[in-house]
Amino acid sequence: MIRYLSVAALIAASATIAYAQGATGTAAITERKAAMKAVGGANKGLTDMAKGDVAFDAAKAAAGFQTMETNFVKAKALFPDDSKTGGDTAALPAVWEKKADFAAKMDKAIADAKTAATASKDEASFKDQHKQVVSSCGGCHKDYRVPPAKK
């Protein structure tokens, strides 16, 4: 069992490394901040819709969740070991200290956004889906991001 687990962990780790080869160092920081910003931008539109400030539109809702999913996938691959500091990053050391938990939280956000894109059939289901998706934001930021300064 122990041997099985460690092999699985190794495979998971090498898959992560292979995937993260795109950007390194401060380039990775710049790219992941841009990806998270795109998640935030998509969420702004979805939040306005959930509050009723903007009329519900199934196609727009799906597109918003898809933008989130795509950018979560991008961001997940942009935390290489050489990007712990610099580039004005707000990522906490915990990202690298608890890699498996961080990756699991990212995977959950990706899965929830993907589900939401197809499950938001009408206004009520959209609101439920949006609630589910945004529940992952604070859960991850609390442990892994320096809270943004109040402006």
Report the interface residues with ligand HEC, using CB under 6 A.
29, 32-33, 36-37, 39-40, 43, 68, 89-91, 95, 102, 105-106, 109, 133-134, 136-137, 140-141, 144-145
Instruction: Select 7 or 139, whichever has its Cβ closest to ligand HEC.
Output: 139
- Give me the least distance between CB of 51 and ligand HEC, in Å please: 15
Q: Give me the least distance between CB of 62 and ligand HEC, in Å please.
A: 15
Kindly state the tokens that stand for 151: 């402006």
What minimum distance in Å lies between the beta carbon of 120 and ligand HEC? 14
Least distance (Å) between residue 1 CB and ligand HEC: 28
Contacts 24+ apart (CB under 8 A), 80-87: 80/20, 80/23, 80/24, 80/25, 80/28, 82/24, 82/25, 82/28, 83/24, 83/25, 83/26, 83/28, 83/29, 83/32, 86/25, 86/26, 86/29, 87/25, 87/26, 87/29, 87/30, 87/33
Rank residues 7 and 54 by Cβ distance to ligand HEC and give the closer one.
54
> Closest Cα to residue 49, out of 119, 125, 118, 151?
125
Nearer to ligand HEC, 7 or 13 (CB): 13
Measured from the CB atom, the residue of 52 and 86 that comes closer to ligand HEC is: 86
